[in-house]
């Protein structure tokens, strides 16, 4: 199918630049595949649309401050560097996406602002640079970035200049995270989970909703744009996930008892669908694995019964995935309704509950 079939118009002013102070006070669009209804509500009223016995699957991955501000050794030109993944277990050799390519030849030396880090470009592999980092403090890069790194905000969240970005540094690190984040590993947040607060989670538990944690580390594949004309030609980068025995057992018991399994976010959805071992009953296997699942037209969901998600970018893999679950015409109608009703979009935006 043509990628243009998954397009819609969004005014720039509706792209949320920061979360609401009260996260659960965001808008919630409630959709039902059964009657094709569109209901406008608030996220803190989501209990009204859940049932006692529902099981919510949340992603406990933690976003690492994987964005660095680096400077050319001689010209001092500023360069954004996004750490994608570490290569091997020896030297601090990392795959990195740089905001500039001009002059970034092998041997080029980059420095952090206070020169704690020296980065030497080794090679270019597709759209990623292989860079060796040398930390003058003696710490590993994974430790150093906790102090000097920035939250890897998506490019549509703008900070006017580097001074503004520095002023927002610690706030962004807190904002671009869920309250149940536990395990370092993501370079993008599981944003559907950011609407939950400790109070709301407790309220839902008291109501009889069960929460189950899995870990799915989100990489660049989640936000990689579809550049091919036909969506089937898009290559989805693999991402790592873990589902332990206890979580898998709880999910399987819910499926066998006829209770709804509701994923919070597309990352949790991809993990569960990949882990499925019984498509008829919707049962999954525990384990540690990589998923390159790209849900496209014709895919039959096996495990999930409903999904809580944000409003995604036009022509994105996450929008395609949502359309496959809810029906393309219905979902795009809902998106256009959200635009008309001034919903806030993308990572810091409003939410959708689709059942």
Q: Can you give the pLDDT at residue 142? A: 81
Q: What is the rounded distance in angstroms from the CA atom of residue 160 to the CA atom of residue 165?
A: 7
Q: Can you give the pLDDT at residue 274? A: 98
| Paired tokens of 212 | 């189950």
Report residue 241: phi and psi, to 5°.
-140, 160
CB-CB contact of 117 with 109 (8 Å): no
Q: Can you give the pLDDT at residue 316? A: 94
- What is the mean pLDDT for each group of 10 consecutive residues in the chain (355 residues)? 94 96 97 98 98 98 93 76 83 89 89 86 91 85 86 87 72 94 95 97 98 95 84 91 98 98 97 98 97 94 98 95 97 98 97 98
DSSP for 230-297, please give it.
BGGGPPPPPEEEEE-HHHHHHHHHHHHTTPPEEEESHHHHHHHHHTEEETTTTEE--EEEEE-----T
Q: Can you give the pLDDT at residue 103? A: 85
| Paired tokens of 256 | 């066998």
| Paired tokens of 87 | 């290569």
Sequence length of the chain is 355
Greatest Cα pair distance, the chain, in angstroms, is: 65
Q: What is the rounded distance in angstroms from the CA atom of residue 105 to the CA atom of residue 2?
A: 37
Q: Which domains does the chain have, with CATH numbers?
A: 3-63+177-354 (3.40.1780.10), 67-149 (2.40.10.240)
Select from 183, 180, 221 the least CA-distant residue to 197.
180
Q: Are strands 78-86 and 67-72 parallel, antiparallel or unpaired?
A: antiparallel
Q: Can you give the pLDDT at residue 256? A: 98
Strand ranges (E), the chain: 27-31, 38-42, 55-59, 61-63, 67-72, 78-86, 93-98, 109-112, 117-125, 128-135, 183-186, 210-216, 239-243, 261-264, 276-278, 283-284, 287-291, 306-310, 351-354
Q: Check residue 15 and report its DSSP letter.
A: B
Q: Check residue 313 and report its DSSP letter.
A: P
Q: What is the rounded distance in angstroms from the CA atom of residue 325 to the CA atom of residue 337?
A: 18
């Amino acid at each position: 199918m043509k990628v243009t079939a998954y397009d819609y118009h969004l005014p720039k002013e509706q792209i949320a630049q920061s979360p609401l102070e009260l996260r659960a006070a965001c808008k919630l669009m409630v959709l039902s595949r059964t009657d094709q209804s569109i209901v406008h509500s608030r996220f803190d009223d989501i209990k009204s649309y859940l049932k006692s016995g529902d099981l919510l699957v949340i992603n406990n991955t933690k976003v690492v401050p994987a964005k660095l501000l680096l400077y050319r050794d001689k010209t001092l030109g500023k360069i954004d560097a996004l750490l994608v993944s570490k290569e091997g277990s020896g030297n601090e050799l990392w795959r990195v996406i740089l905001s500039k390519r001009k002059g970034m030849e092998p041997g080029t030396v980059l420095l952090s602002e206070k020169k704690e880090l020296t980065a030497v470009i080794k090679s270019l592999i597709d759209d990623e640079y292989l860079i060796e980092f040398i930390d003058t403090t003696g710490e590993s890069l994974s430790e150093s970035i906790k102090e000097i790194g920035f939250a890897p905000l998506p490019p549509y969240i703008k900070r006017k200049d580097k001074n503004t970005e520095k002023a927002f540094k610690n706030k962004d690190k807190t904002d671009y995270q869920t309250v149940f984040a536990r395990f370092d590993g993501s370079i993008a947040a599981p944003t559907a989970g950011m609407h939950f607060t400790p109070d709301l989670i407790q309220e839902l538990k008291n109501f009889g909703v069960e929460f189950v944690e899995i870990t799915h580390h989100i990489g660049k594949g989640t936000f990689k744009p579809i550049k091919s004309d036909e969506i089937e030609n898009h290559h989805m980068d693999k991402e790592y996930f873990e589902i332990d025995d206890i979580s898998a057992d709880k999910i399987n018991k819910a499926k066998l008892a006829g209770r709804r399994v509701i994923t919070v976010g597309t990352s949790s959805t991809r993990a569960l669908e990949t882990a499925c071992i019984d498509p008829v009953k919707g049962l999954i296997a525990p384990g540690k694995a990589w998923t390159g699942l790209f849900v496209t037209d014709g895919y039959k969901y096996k495990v999930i019964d409903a999904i809580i998600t944000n409003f995604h970018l036009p022509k994105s893999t996450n929008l395609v995935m949502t359309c496959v679950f809810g029906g393309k015409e219905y979902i795009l109608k809902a998106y256009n309704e959200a635009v008309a009703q001034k919903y806030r979009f993308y990572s810091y935006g409003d939410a959708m509950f689709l059942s």
